[in-house]
Structure 1
């Protein structure tokens, strides 16, 4: 018998405690557990798959790129630099000693993750992917590190092999409008790679004149699009051209995240005036905000024309801790949710485009109050609107259960997006999707137990949430290549 506590995955994890409901949940889950993963919104670099280079160490794979993991260690007093965050890519792999130190820090603080979805995902990854049977601790850290490192040195754990093992059918990345998408072309044209990896158009920085780099970004947009962005009409044309370029490379959606989703339109003359002032460095803060809100409406217009699904996930205070942002950059865990408002904010956009044939608008939130008050009612009227799954801070078991309870009574299941993993942590993708499948099976089992849904209907719904909902909301049923 091992002297150390063991790590294992209970087959009934996340299922309802009531034995009768749990039995139904088991049956529903069995029908979806092996279905392929459709991931229409995420942040895994496509270069991992084109290069197919072996991951160098457990820390660089499971800790450094996962801000869910690093932010909790930081909250416990661990410096992000000790976790490999902010390291210059040109510096090469994290030295082994530093990688081991970071791994020990995680294992020593394993108890800090109790009850969190991060703990759930990490356990799933350790056990199901790497076969770890020891519970992480200060005493077991090196043993677990060695076991994972040995696995990563084999061909079976290279990115493409894991992509196939995870059963990923579609994987969307998130890409700058000026990206040449060479990695996507390489994957598309590679006969040895049979997966579908698609880009996502993410234009936020090009719509915000208040950002210090905006003028340089707009200049770069002109160069890449080969369209003069010296005036407002050229700027719009350049954005439209890059969107078409993304569509040609397989993109099905455009992703937007701003402080709010206000969409008050400006007249073409006023938009052109503010654009000119911003290019000259003379636009006021209020004018910059007005221009961004106008441009969000323009993005909807372009989506109606080119077919890209429009996704919105607003109301995050980005880079809340300025010293961390200065030292480590964005997306390292210091973004904090704020309250959101959708009904009034989106009325101008939806008045124009809410019933436009083929327009899809997927609304995400971290402010759970708006699910039943705003998002579900909007999706319950507008044929363009879908309620996005819980993401980021609320892609957690209780939040997912609350989401189903909040939106189902108004829009049912068909007007929801399907699960969104929204992750840079490649190995957490199967764990996150499995979590959602278990929770949805449990929710549906409760409806069956209350005689509100026949079991055959619950089964059809469980499968649709995995297979059809994301394909419908994100228009993924077109040609694969």
Structure 2
């Protein structure tokens, strides 16, 4: 018996309010920003894609293998990572047949109902690839073949998609040890796409980072310094920051377990560095060193103008078996409660009143928005609030963010939206969701006579485009 395909299209009113009057305002606001260029100031896509402009290999390696949101949900329902092509640390066997991987994904696609991944994936299927049926076990091969055929065409190569998505600027994230050869290749190619890097120093400032001491040695080799003193170590980091700036970098990013900062005396900082460098530091010493380095990085940002982002509060690699078997960043990170008021105070005492410094704060602890983060950003000139991040990059998370932040920090102590993604095809989908949700929130303010319609149009444009461009100096 032939099974009929199930037609599918994203509804034009998705995410808009059920109330007709408010929905009408949201539609009008969204129409004014839907086609604005995408500014993607923070993310984790691979610059090599844009340097080489080679075709993406197959649907599985485009949508499934690199996406920890997909792994996480599948694993929660018993699908092991190696079944969907995730490489093992020991080089052991994993599934390599992309069609088999795709079929597993399609058979389990129902698991993503109600999640932002459902919106992102379906947006890519329909808007980027023109698919007009639901992804199911029955349609898996048809959808796979359609996407695979598209990927063979020049208009689906990375640069062409970058242009079709109307991306004005896209930032990736690299370690200080990276030579940035792919970024230099993009710049040398003559292509007009703007692909930038962000400076992520975690491998050489976090004593708990795997291979930390080896990373310090590599930093010394790259900068031709022995790093025997704290001053020499800081000079090496400043040198790498300058190199990143020369390739177009405008921001740094710091993924610490907590938001703790410190402002030690020169003598105490030097002694702590000696302990860390020798490998004799305790866990408490490591936390104090990370705290001190956030303040040192803020000092450097004041000097060199790089925007500073702090992404704290993730218990990374919570599942030790998964980490041991498959390595970092495979979907086992869990949010933790995070203190900002007292944790940030040493840095803010030193630099919080500096108008030339921009520190963008993120959180995985939503309880901190109204209690700590909005009041802090609503006062200190150096602070701005980043958008909902990771687990809260969702319609509900975005609405909660606006509701809890706006009353204290307003719109202009926030920085618009960034997608923070490894999944290139999800970028336009994520920005579309953010624009729709912001327009819903603004429409509600208009309907409640808390904002004039012309003001709402201006704010919608700011949130979708201008704030991110200004905050990240793009």
Q: Quick check: TM above 0.5?
A: yes
Partner-residue secondary structure (3-state), 2:342? helix
Query: For residues 429 and 282 of structure 2, what CA distance do their matches in structure 1 show?
Result: 46
- Distance apart, 1:78 and its partner CA: 0.6
**Unaligned residue ranges in structure 2 (runs of 5+):** none
Pairing 1:287-302 to 2, within 5 Å after superposition: 287-302=285-300
Query: For residues 37 and 2 of structure 1, what CA distance do their matches in structure 2 show?
Result: 40
**Unaligned residue ranges in structure 1 (runs of 5+):** 477-481
Residues paired across the two proteins, number: 472
Pairing 1:324-403 to 2, within 5 Å after superposition: 324-403=322-401
Query: For residues 288 and 22 of structure 2, what CA distance do their matches in structure 1 show?
Result: 51
Partner of 2:16: 15
Change beyond 3 A, Cα 1:210–1:44: closer
- Distance apart, 1:80 and its partner CA: 0.5
Alignment of 1:99 with 2:98, yes or no, is: yes
Whether the 8 Å contact between 2:302 and 2:356 is mirrored in structure 1 is yes
1:6-49 per-residue CA deviation (whole Å, 9 max, x = no partner) reads: 11110000011111111111111111111110000000010001
Partner of 2:62: 61
- Distance apart, 1:391 and its partner CA: 1.2
Whether the 8 Å contact between 2:175 and 2:200 is mirrored in structure 1 is yes
Partner-residue secondary structure (3-state), 1:254? strand
Partner-residue secondary structure (3-state), 2:344? helix
Stretches of 4+ aligned residues off by more than 4 angstroms: none
- Distance apart, 1:414 and its partner CA: 1.1
Partner of 1:252: 250
Partner of 1:178: 177
Whether the 8 Å contact between 1:60 and 1:94 is mirrored in structure 2 is no
Whether the 8 Å contact between 2:88 and 2:327 is mirrored in structure 1 is no
Partner-residue secondary structure (3-state), 2:199? coil
Whether the 8 Å contact between 2:415 and 2:468 is mirrored in structure 1 is yes
Partner-residue secondary structure (3-state), 2:174? coil
Query: For residues 2 and 94 of structure 1, what CA distance do their matches in structure 2 show?
Result: 28
Change beyond 3 A, Cα 1:394–1:102: same
Partner-residue secondary structure (3-state), 1:200? strand
- Distance apart, 1:360 and its partner CA: 0.2
Moved more, 389-398 or 264-273: 264-273
1:113-155 per-residue CA deviation (whole Å, 9 max, x = no partner) reads: 1111011111111111111111111111111100100000111
Partner-residue secondary structure (3-state), 2:379? coil
Q: 1:318 aligns with which of 316, 319, 325?
A: 316
Partner-residue secondary structure (3-state), 1:223? helix
Query: For residues 446 and 208 of structure 2, what CA distance do their matches in structure 1 show?
Result: 52
- Distance apart, 1:313 and its partner CA: 1.0
Change beyond 3 A, Cα 1:87–1:211: closer
Partner-residue secondary structure (3-state), 1:419? coil
Whether the 8 Å contact between 1:227 and 1:237 is mirrored in structure 2 is no
1:186-230 per-residue CA deviation (whole Å, 9 max, x = no partner) reads: 212222x11111110000121122335111111110111222212
Query: For residues 215 and 340 of structure 1, what CA distance do their matches in structure 2 show?
Result: 28
Q: 1:455 aligns with which of 443, 449, 453?
A: 453
Partner-residue secondary structure (3-state), 2:170? strand
1:81-124 per-residue CA deviation (whole Å, 9 max, x = no partner) reads: 11111268x99x984xx211111111111221111101111111
Query: For residues 423 and 176 of structure 1, what CA distance do their matches in structure 2 show?
Result: 17
Query: For residues 357 and 189 of structure 1, what CA distance do their matches in structure 2 show?
Result: 35
Partner of 1:479: none
- Distance apart, 1:445 and its partner CA: 0.6
Partner-residue secondary structure (3-state), 2:173? coil
Partner of 2:47: 46
Partner of 1:280: 278
Normalised to the residue count of structure 1, the TM-score between the two structures is 0.95
- Distance apart, 1:464 and its partner CA: 0.9
Partner of 1:134: 133
Partner-residue secondary structure (3-state), 2:39? strand
Partner-residue secondary structure (3-state), 1:345? coil
Query: For residues 368 and 285 of structure 1, what CA distance do their matches in structure 2 show?
Result: 27
1:419-465 per-residue CA deviation (whole Å, 9 max, x = no partner) reads: 11010000000000000001111111111111111111100110111
Change beyond 3 A, Cα 1:303–1:38: same
Query: For residues 179 and 210 of structure 2, what CA distance do their matches in structure 1 show?
Result: 23
Alignment of 1:189 with 2:188, yes or no, is: yes
Pairing 1:212-251 to 2, within 5 Å after superposition: 212-251=210-249
